[in-house]
């Protein structure tokens, strides 16, 4: 019943060539502690499925990505993730570029164990041109409408970050938007979750709200206690994104040897080393939440 793991133990469960979904949204609530552990590993040839942020850019910079299935890769305040851009422009990765709703629809189909779901989204656009594997289907009813058949996006593993979890696999997302993390969890063969706070039982914690538990514990294969584990992305309500750090990260993409220096300063070593380098949890906890 005890599903607690370390980030290294989670990564040890992953294999080359896997299709891995990463929850969160751009620079918001990304499982960066687990992503950094992947960067420290020998994993390669991954297919990454994400509403991408620095998670995607860093994995591209490290040469871990074979194919990317995505709706966007953005740092929000910085519109285009720089290391993703470099990999995309250089043709270093295969891509499936989708509308945000189509990506969600593909995850939902996999979560429902369906081969596809019909949609009008994408019709008469270059999404269909550049994704020839997406077929069309005609409604069997009197309307006879032609629809896109968005194929299921089945995942070997999903990686998520939440603010509160317990050793049984119960989780809570306390921020204002759970994004599509529940679909990532349901679309995956295995789901691994990192959390800022780990307790014995979430229902016994003063902060627990049943409505903030968006997916059942049976879906969770492992729970990683990772204070500040979403940094430099945000984890509402506890801390915002670290724009100063993200600016430094973005600047490294324009420098000769910038990625190697970033890895040497922030990724090499342990997660405790990383937190010290970014100012410790005291500083992380004071990062203001972004306002939209």
Determine the Cα–Cα distance for residues 1 and 11; give it in Å rounded to an integer: 20
Q: What is the pLDDT of residue 82?
A: 98
d(CA 45, CA 221): 23
Q: So what's the pLDDT on residue 291?
A: 86
Please tell me the predicted confidence (pLDDT) of residue 256: 97
Q: Where are the domains of the chain?
A: 7-97+154-278, 116-151
Contact 184, 155 (CB under 8 A): yes
Q: The tokens 């942020």 sit on which residue?
A: 53
Task: Give residue 271's pLDDT.
Answer: 96
Distance CA 26, CA 237 (A): 17
- Look up residue 278 and give its two tokens: 């970014």
Query: Is 3.40.50.11740 the CATH classification of the domain at 7-97+154-278?
Result: no
What Å distances lie between residue 238 and 23, 75, 105, 217, CA to CA? Answer: 18, 19, 30, 23
Please give the chain's pLDDT, 292 residues, in tens. 899 999 999 999 999 999 999 999 999 999 999 999 999 999 999 999 999 999 999 999 999 999 999 999 999 999 999 999 999 999 999 999 999 999 999 999 999 999 999 999 999 999 999 999 999 999 999 999 999 999 999 999 999 999 999 999 999 999 999 999 999 999 999 999 999 999 999 988 888 888 999 999 999 999 999 999 999 999 999 999 999 999 999 999 999 999 999 999 999 999 999 999 999 999 999 999 998 7
Separation CA 253–CA 177 (nearest Å): 30
Contact criterion met (CB below 8 Å) for 40 and 268:
yes
CB 195 within 8 A of CB 29: no
In this structure, what is the dihedral angle of CA atoms 123, 127, 128, 131, given to the nearest 10 degrees? -150
92 CB-near residues (< 8 Å, 6+ apart): 60, 86
DSSP-based three-state secondary structure for 8: helix
Six-digit token string for 141 = 């009813």
pLDDT of residue 49: 98
Q: Which two tokens stand for residue 6?
A: 């370390």
What was the pLDDT predicted at 138?
Answer: 98
Contacts of 170 (CB under 8 A, 6+ apart): 201, 202, 203, 213, 217, 220
- HEC sequence for 21-44: EECCECCECCCHHHHHHHHCCCCC
- Encoding tokens for residue 86? 């470099």
- Integer-rounded Cα Rg, in Å, for the chain is 19
Please tell me the predicted confidence (pLDDT) of residue 292: 79
Rounded CA separation 263/59 (Å): 12
Quote the pLDDT of residue 208.
Answer: 85
* Gap between the Cα atoms of 198 and 182, Å rounded: 19
Residues 61, 87: contact at Cβ < 8 Å?
yes
Of 39, 38, 69, nearest in space to 51 by CA: 69
Q: What is the pLDDT of residue 142?
A: 98
């Amino acid at each position: 019943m005890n599903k607690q793991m370390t980030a290294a133990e989670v990564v040890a469960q992953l294999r080359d060539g896997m299709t891995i979904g990463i929850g969160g949204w751009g620079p918001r609530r990304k499982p960066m502690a687990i992503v950094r552990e992947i960067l420290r590993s020998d994993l390669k040839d991954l297919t990454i499925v994400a509403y991408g942020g620095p998670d995607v850019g860093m994995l591209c910079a490290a040469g871990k990505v074979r194919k990317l299935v995505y709706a966007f890769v953005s740092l929000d305040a910085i519109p285009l993730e720089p290391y993703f851009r470099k990999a995309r422009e250089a043709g270093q990765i295969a891509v499936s570029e989708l509308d945000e709703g189509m990506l969600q629809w593909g995850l939902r189909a996999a979560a429902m164990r369906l081969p596809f779901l019909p949609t009008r989204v994408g019709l008469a656009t270059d999404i269909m041109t550049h994704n020839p594997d997406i077929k069309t289907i005609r409604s069997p009813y009197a309307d006879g409408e032609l629809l896109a058949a968005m194929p299921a996006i089945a995942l070997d593993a999903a990686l998520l970050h939440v603010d509160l979890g317990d050793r049984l696999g119960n989780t809570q997302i306390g921020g204002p938007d759970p994004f599509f993390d529940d679909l990532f969890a349901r679309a995956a063969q295995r789901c691994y979750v990192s959390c800022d706070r780990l307790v014995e039982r979430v229902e016994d914690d003063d902060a627990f709200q049943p409505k903030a538990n968006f997916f059942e514990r049976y879906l969770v294969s492992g729970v990683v206690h990772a204070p500040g584990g979403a940094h430099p992305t945000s984890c509402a309500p506890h801390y915002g994104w670290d724009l100063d750090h993200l600016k430094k990260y973005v600047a490294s993409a324009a420098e000769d040897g910038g990625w190697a220096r970033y890895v040497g300063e922030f990724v090499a070593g342990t997660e405790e080393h990383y937190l010290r380098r970014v100012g410790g949890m005291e500083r992380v906890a004071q990062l203001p939440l972004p306002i939209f």
